Structure 1
Amino acid sequence: MISAILFGGLLFFLLLSVPIAFSLGLASVFTIWILKPMSMEAFGQATIQALNSFPLMAVPLFTFAGTIMAVGGVSKRLLNFSELVLGKLTGGLGIVSIAACLFFSSISGTGSATVAAIGVIMIPAMVAHRYSRPFATSLIAASGGMGALIPPSVIQIVYAVTAGVSVIAMFAAAIGPGLLVAIVFAIYTFIYSKKHGYTGVVRKYSAREALKISLEAILPLSIPVVVLGGIYKGIFTPTEAAAVASLYGIILSVFVYKEVKVSKLPFVAFNAVLICAPVLAIIGVSTGFGHILTIAQVPQKISAAILDITTSKILILLMINVLLLIVGTFMETNAAIILLTPILLPIVIELGINPVHFGAIMIVNLVTGFITPPVGCDLFMASQISGLKFDLLVKAIVPWIILMIVVIVLVTYIPAISLTLPKLMNLRF
């Protein structure tokens, strides 16, 4: 009865287009009011206590770092360097775009920021070199998802906090899947470009130009080395690394490149708050929601029901992947992680699957939702930048969704893709 009212209320409010955080809160309050599974005071305490978390402080800080670097000239210098190195290849501009998204992902922490920072430069450049607009736009939309795969990533922090695993281990585990996505996308871009005659950029760089571009790229390329290297070496925690990244971003954007004025910093900070505030609100309210689920023993019941159907690890992981793909299509990623992790994690642990490996599976699935209609946020961002009609972009994104499904299968059934690096680094997970 508790779960029926709780999920029924949540569905009702979502259908009314009530924001997710408010839908979770209203469904929880409604359930408490009718059945009293817990006191209202306990629900409020659980909600506030969820936000009293040191690791969660990294979310607004990384968001701010990605925001200021997106407008501070970092992406432009990464693109120039990528074009210098990869531009002459067949499909060079497309591969440059993927590489630039990969580099910028290690700074931004979010997919939409990566799409905006790289797309505003590379989509017009590809179209000017006779790439079809649907292909160029879909490439940027799909590649932007690496912003959530390559650490440091906001959704990796959210999963680590929700699942109770090491944030550092989660960062390390996501690198393999993120690089795999980049490689698969680059191979497809090369094959597609070969077929459609998209040649490389025929531009000769003087030694002076090449040196200037390379020197300008050193500082942006050093950001992930400083941030991730500091985390993995134990010099600072992920939260402290987020503060370092924010300071680095201010120094580069304001004092080195001088593309952001000091007077604009409050506005950049305000935009970062607007991006991360809904995430933090969802985290807080969903914790109280999760307490009610625990009281009703919903995770245990769902786990038992699935294991009654089959005990095959292959089939259960297949069912979970299908569920995550469907949920990712309709629900915001952080909300999906917070809601589904407490339900699905006991099932996979029962099967002997490492929680960090499952985090990689979950994140790759939900990142695919960034490019699946009707809610794909990266699709809307790319469409707005490109000026391409959304229905045309939906058709063009299909091959990229298929490629992501291939990656999902590989990450799911080959644990070494996500677990090798954490093991080599002797991380506890």
Structure 2
Amino acid sequence: MSLVLTVVFFGLLVLSVPVAHTLMIASGAALWSDGALPLLVVVQQMFAQTQSFPLLALPFFILAGELMMTGRLGQGLIGFASATVGHYRGGLASTTVVGSVVFGGVSGSAVSDASALGSVLIPWQKREGYPAGFAAANNAAAATIAILIPPSIPMILYALVSNVSVGALFLAGVLPGLMLAAGFLLVCNLSARLRGFPVTHSRIARGELGRLALAAMPAIAMPILILACLRFGVATPTEVSVMAVLYALAVAWLIYRDMTVGRFLSALVNAGRATGVVMLVIMASAAVGWIMTFVQAPQAFATWATATLQEPWLILLAMNGIMIVAGMFIDLPAAILLLGPIFVPLAQSIGLDLVQLGVIMVLNLAIGLYTPPVGTTLFISTTIARVPILRASIELLPYYAVGFTVLMLFSFVPVLTIRY
């Protein structure tokens, strides 16, 4: 059964069949080849996975991001990011990084971040004399900060398969997100100095900077409020996600006064589409996960790894390698839902904290988002910049260095993973 599942899955991936459909077809083929179990099991497992109260946080966080990233607030965030770092060497590129940190605290999605910031900042950087390949690479890498800064959609998915607290994962994601941002800012500054990128902005007056900071404050405060509510037990993650939607509506309606019926309906439609895509992958992954559990694949893999590699650091290194390769070919939600059930028992067998594993997994798959051949943020950024993927990939080399450095630190220095 597991052999049929593997062959059909990778065969359909090679044929470029969408991941969700690949998972459903592969699970159906595996059950059909066995003959002992009815195909109805696939439908049952797909439906059962949706009956999760914590999973309700997913559509509400996506909707909150849609409501806050459009309109005057989104423009204010970009203005604040530009005012903060725009006068430094590589300031326009640094604006993308700072913008990703702030936008990440609103959207929780690297794809949304890459699209929203890239559509504004990449053409701007090109007009000011930045190489198109560098602008695309910078946007593709910086956008992945969004899946570490809370609220993080991938962290919610990992919590679903690992039974780890969403609040603990959100808190643990802050430090690696900020470390990636610091490393990317260093890349922007050094690249600008070594390659002579133009300095296009003078230092902004303190009064104007304060005004822009005040305008961006509602968005900056959102992740802080989310963490505070979860840390002090004010509400569950699902309740916090609903509060985030109400907060976004209040900010747009009462502070910025730019909420219209049309914009609200558009946000609902976009959030519904995004949720539908993710939920289809979640449902399809549930069927595959059930089959892997039925044939005891996670336990067999854990037994093999501990017997063959023996040393915990070697096992952890192998897990990182598998996650990196998976992230290069499989969409992030599917990779988490497929690898989570396999790596959780393995992590427990070597004494690896499951919160730390969540951070490691998201960091690995974040790197995959800007790595060919399937890197989603890389594809979005190169499309906006109108530049070949190969040229942007070459520009990404220093960003890979930063990403792998942060990954190794959080893999082998457990104290860096913040817990509560």
**TM-score normalised by L of structure 1:** 0.92
Question: 1 CA distance for matches of 2:316 and 2:214?
Answer: 46
| Count of aligned pairs | 420
My pick for the range that moved more, 261-270 or 13-22, is 13-22
**CA drift at 1:153:** 0.7
Which amino acid in structure 2 is aligned with residue 59 of structure 1?
A: L
**CA drift at 1:285:** 2.4
Question: 2 CA distance for matches of 1:357 and 1:206?
Answer: 42
Alpha-carbon contact 1:72-1:254 (below 8 Å) kept: no
**CA drift at 1:232:** 1.9
Secondary structure of the residue that 2:402 maps to in structure 1?
helix
Question: 2 CA distance for matches of 1:162 and 1:110?
Answer: 19
Secondary structure of the residue that 2:361 maps to in structure 1?
helix
My pick for the range that moved more, 261-270 or 354-363, is 261-270
Which amino acid in structure 2 is aligned with residue 228 of structure 1?
A: L
Alpha-carbon contact 2:87-2:203 (below 8 Å) kept: no
- Cα 1:208–1:166 change in 2 (3 A) is closer
**CA drift at 1:350:** 0.7
Question: 1 CA distance for matches of 2:162 and 2:256?
Answer: 40
1:352 lines up with 2:340 in the alignment: no
Alpha-carbon contact 1:371-1:401 (below 8 Å) kept: no
> Which residue in 2 is equivalent to 1:16?
15
1:388 lines up with 2:379 in the alignment: no
1:233 lines up with 2:232 in the alignment: yes
- Cα 1:73–1:42 change in 2 (3 A) is same
Alpha-carbon contact 2:90-2:198 (below 8 Å) kept: yes
**CA drift at 1:201:** 4.3
Secondary structure of the residue that 1:388 maps to in structure 2?
coil
> Which residue in 2 is equivalent to 1:136?
135
Which amino acid in structure 2 is aligned with residue 283 of structure 1?
A: I
Question: 1 CA distance for matches of 2:400 and 2:32?
Answer: 43
**CA drift at 1:139:** 0.9
Question: 2 CA distance for matches of 1:221 and 1:172?
Answer: 16
Question: 2 CA distance for matches of 1:46 and 1:273?
Answer: 22
- Cα 1:16–1:183 change in 2 (3 A) is same
Alpha-carbon contact 1:151-1:171 (below 8 Å) kept: yes
1:350-429 aligned within 5 A: 350-418=349-417, 421-422=418-419, 427=420
Question: 2 CA distance for matches of 1:191 and 1:28?
Answer: 49
- Cα 1:296–1:123 change in 2 (3 A) is same
1:270 lines up with 2:280 in the alignment: no
Question: 2 CA distance for matches of 1:266 and 1:157?
Answer: 25
Q: Where do 5+ consecutive residues of structure 1 fail to align?
A: none
> Which residue in 2 is equivalent to 1:104?
103
Which amino acid in structure 2 is aligned with residue 262 of structure 1?
A: V
My pick for the range that moved more, 116-125 or 57-66, is 116-125
**CA drift at 1:148:** 0.9
1:143-182 aligned within 5 A: 143-182=142-181
**TM-score normalised by L of structure 2:** 0.94
Question: 1 CA distance for matches of 2:267 and 2:13?
Answer: 31
Alpha-carbon contact 1:77-1:220 (below 8 Å) kept: no
> Which residue in 2 is equivalent to 1:281?
280
Q: Where do 5+ consecutive residues of structure 2 fail to align?
A: none
> Which residue in 2 is equivalent to 1:28?
27
Alpha-carbon contact 1:75-1:100 (below 8 Å) kept: no
**CA drift at 1:314:** 1.6
**CA drift at 1:172:** 1.2
1:180-329 aligned within 5 A: 180-198=179-197, 200-203=199-202, 205-206=204-205, 209-329=208-328
Cα offsets for 1:376-426 (capped at 9, x unmatched): 1101211222232333222222321232112211111111222xx31xxxx
Alpha-carbon contact 2:68-2:219 (below 8 Å) kept: no
Which amino acid in structure 2 is aligned with residue 353 of structure 1?
A: L
Secondary structure of the residue that 1:240 maps to in structure 2?
helix
Question: 2 CA distance for matches of 1:199 and 1:326?
Answer: 37
